[in-house]
Chain A
Amino acid sequence: MVRAAGLEPVLLSMMDSALVVDGLRKRYGDTMAVDGVSFEVAAGEIFGIIGANGSGKTTTVECVQALRQADAGSVRVFGIDPQTDRASLRSVVGSQLQESELPNRLRVWEALDLFASISPTSADWRELLADWGLAEKKDAAFASLSGGQRQRLLVALALVNSPRLVFLDEMTTGLDPAARRVAWDLIDQIRLGGTTVVLVTHFMDEAERLCDRIAVFRQGRIIAAGSPQGLVDAHAGDATVHFSTDEADLSWLANSQGVERIDRAGSRVTVHGSGPLLAHTAATLVAHGIAPLDLRTERKTLEDAFLALTARQGGTTA
């Protein structure tokens, strides 16, 4: 797996930006669907957007593409203002919309051929057909495709104009586990080809696997942003280390680096803390002549960070 070096937000303005969003707002009646969202995506980056249902992810990416009219805020896609220069925008952007279908009786190859004909920069759609596992379904009507096959066709359509920036809104929803992994590899390849990707997803493993940086949405705002590991470190909560011992007095363990709390239930011990807790705990235990066979840590994941972030009330803007 190739991943660009961790891009810190500070460095971004010095680099080529694929996308700059500043103060984006969109209201539907009483709902502030998007409430002052700002972020920047560097060229060549895979930028993830995660957040609960209705947190404004789709509204944001569709406003950015001028498929919806934002109430306020500015957007630049490779320097292009989507509101005033749609034609230039469309020629650099590919888009897989969360909700869209094709005519029922349209065949797979016809769809690719048609969408390829719109843009002069189009890739060879036969390759996309093979890449996205649709070669066998070439002549199948859209209505006869399974959910995952439709999804793959729609992603292939998003890529058919060889975009410099592609928006994928829940790309792998409905895909089987094998197809998801194939999709991940394809996204890696697309990025290697120089395409910037904005990926909206509900799958934390997908975001962790693919994204260089992630923005976490809650109620129309970005409440946290950073690299997957950065988000885990900052928000996934305490690290924990587990082991068993018959030693009665463990009070000395509290002085070990990073340890915040020790829970005991019979011989089973759970150490809560922060930082490289496993390494420090192990060193301290060994120094006291204890070498438990079952010493282990629980790896915190993006999912832990996500749950912690989205459960919190009144989050702060990153």
Chain B
Amino acid sequence: MKALRKLTWIELKLFTRDPLSLVFTLALPFFFLIVLNGVFGNEVETDPAEDVWRGVGPADYYVPAYLGLVMSAIGVLSMPTRLASYRERGVLRRFRASAMPLWAVLGSQIAIALLTAVVGAVSITIASTLIYGTDLQPADSLAFVPAFALAALSFGALGVLLGSVMPTSRSAQGAGIMLFFVMFLLSGSGPPREVLTGPMKALGNLLPLTHVITLLQDPWLGFGWNTGASIIVASILVGSVALSIRYFRWE
């Protein structure tokens, strides 16, 4: 337990010392928010036939989307790159030789994923409220909190899985950057999903971020718990954990 606590604390410090992680997980989503809200504003489209924003203002639509984007940056980019580089450089070997428990290594990563997701969520929500007057709280907190926890855990587990199967930190980073931007564009955190063409939408449906955003957006906007999305996101969580146990390698 002491090892887990120490390792989590150290990983947190390392995270704040790593510019790449900070840029992708915290700065970039914030930048997208400024640009897209600058373009679309927060006017509700009154004509339902014209509306692509689920009946709310674009800025309100984007808040939960960016919370998901932060989680995905951790899950597909910063965590896999870190784990793969630990393996590549013999850090995991070093841990193993010193009897660092596997659950402490992975637990600290998941803890960092959760913490960063919360910090990202709080800062994005506050910034968006201050600049664009969006809501500071989810419309349905009771449903939103578990949705948020499920989504963050799921991306955390996906990060462990990608970190387990990626052979090198370079491949992890390359694949991660690609996945991050494809998800950004097709999962509803860039252009609203309504304006995507059929094939784009179909591809988007295969991406975890799409379902994470739906899972977060529904309770945030007051549409309640989305059972379909929650089943998909929970499956990603369970599948990632199972495959990680199967494929995790210390070296």
Instruction: Give the B-binding residues of A (Cβ under 8 A).
Output: 65, 67, 86-87, 90-91, 95, 97, 99-103, 105-106, 110, 113-115, 117-119, 154, 157, 161
Closest to B18 in A: A105
Instruction: Give the interface segment out of B95-103, B178-186, B218-226.
Output: B95-103
**CA–CA, A100 to B5, complex, Å?**
23
Q: Is B238 at the interface (CB under 8 A from chain A)?
A: no
CB distance from A70 to the nearest CB of B (A): 16
Of all chain B residues, the one with the shortest Cβ separation from A113 is B6
Q: Is the interface of B mostly helix, strand, loop or mixed?
A: helix
Chain B residues whose CB sits within 8 angstroms of the CB of A101 once the complex forms: 89-91, 94
B7 within 8 A of A: yes
How many CB-defined contacts (below 8 Å) exist between A and B? 60
Cβ A105 vs Cβ B14 within 8 A = yes
Q: Please tell me if the beta carbons of B6 and A87 are within 8 angstroms of each other in the complex.
A: no
C-alpha spacing A91/B100, complex, angstroms:
11
Query: Is the CB–CB distance between A67 and B17 below 8 Å?
Result: no
Asked if B149 is at the interface (CB within 8 A of a chain A CB), the reply is no
Question: Total interface residues on B, using CB and 8 Å?
Answer: 21
Task: Tell me whether A97 and B90 are in contact (CB under 8 A).
Answer: yes
Contact with A87, one of B89, B91, B99 (Cβ below 8 angstroms): B99
Residues of chain A within 8 A (CB-CB) of B10 are 106, 110, 114
Instruction: Tell me the bound Cα distance from A67 to B7 in angstroms.
Output: 22
A86–B100 Cα distance when bound, in Å, is: 12
Contact A97 to B93, CB < 8 A, known contacts A103-B86, A106-B10, A117-B6: yes
- Judged by a CB distance under 8 angstroms, whether B245 is at the interface is no
The reply to whether A102 and B98 contact each other, CB–CB distance below 8 Å, is no
Across-interface contacts of B93 in A (CB, < 8 A): 67, 97, 99-100
Q: B98–A157 contact, CB under 8 A?
A: yes
Distance A91 CA – B91 CA, assembled complex (angstroms): 19
Query: Does A90 contact B94, Cβ atoms closer than 8 Å?
Result: no
Q: Tell me the smallest distance from the CB of A18 to a CB of chain B, in Å.
A: 18
Contacting B98 at CB < 8 Å: which of A87, A95, A105?
A: A95
Tell whether B13 is near chain A: CB-to-CB under 8 Å: yes
Are B99 and A91 interface neighbours, CB within 8 A? yes
The answer to whether B98 touches A118 (Cβ under 8 A) is yes
Residues of chain A within 8 A of B5, CB atoms compared: 117
Which residues in A have their C-beta under 8 angstroms from that of B18?
A: 105
For B2, list chain A residues within 8 Å (CB): 117
B-side contacts of A103, CB under 8 Å: 14, 86, 91
Please state if A115 and B98 are interface contacts (CB–CB under 8 Å). Answer: yes
Closest Cβ of chain B to A111, distance in Å, is: 9
Which chain B residues lie closer than 8 Å to A87 at the CB level? 99
Chain A residues closer than 8 Å to B89, beta-carbon distance: 100-101
CB-based nearest A residue for B99: A90
Check: B207 CB closer than 8 A to any chain A CB.
Answer: no
Report A-chain residues with C-beta under 8 Å of the C-beta of B3.
Answer: 114, 117-118
- Residues in A with CB closer than 8 Å to B86 are 103
Query: Would you give the 0/1 interface string for B147-179, flagging 1 where the beta carbon is closer than 8 Å to chain A?
Result: 000000000000000000000000000000000
Q: How far is the CB of A273 from chain B (nearest CB, A)?
A: 48
Give me 17 A-to-B residue pairs in the complex whose CB atoms sit less than 8 angstroms apart, sorted by A's number. Answer: A90-B97, A90-B98, A90-B99, A95-B97, A97-B90, A101-B89, A101-B91, A102-B91, A105-B14, A105-B17, A105-B18, A106-B10, A110-B13, A114-B7, A117-B3, A117-B5, A118-B99
Apart from A99-B90, A100-B97, A119-B98, 20 more pairs, CB < 8 Å: A67-B96, A87-B99, A90-B97, A90-B99, A95-B97, A97-B90, A97-B93, A97-B94, A97-B97, A100-B89, A100-B90, A101-B90, A102-B94, A110-B10, A110-B13, A117-B2, A118-B3, A118-B100, A154-B94, A157-B98
Bound complex: CA A117 to CA B108 (Å): 14
What's the nearest-Cβ distance from chain A to residue B186, in Å? 33
By Cβ-Cβ distance, the 6 closest A-B pairs, closest first, are A90-B99, A100-B90, A100-B94, A117-B6, A101-B89, A105-B17
Instruction: Evaluate whether A106 and B14 lie within 8 angstroms (CB atoms) in the complex, with A117-B3, A119-B99 already known.
Output: yes
List, in ascending order, chain B residues with CB within 8 A of A97's CB. Answer: 90, 93-94, 97
- Per the bound structure, the CA–CA distance linking A97 and B93 in Å amounts to 8
Within 8 A of A (CB), among B91-135: 91, 93-94, 96-100
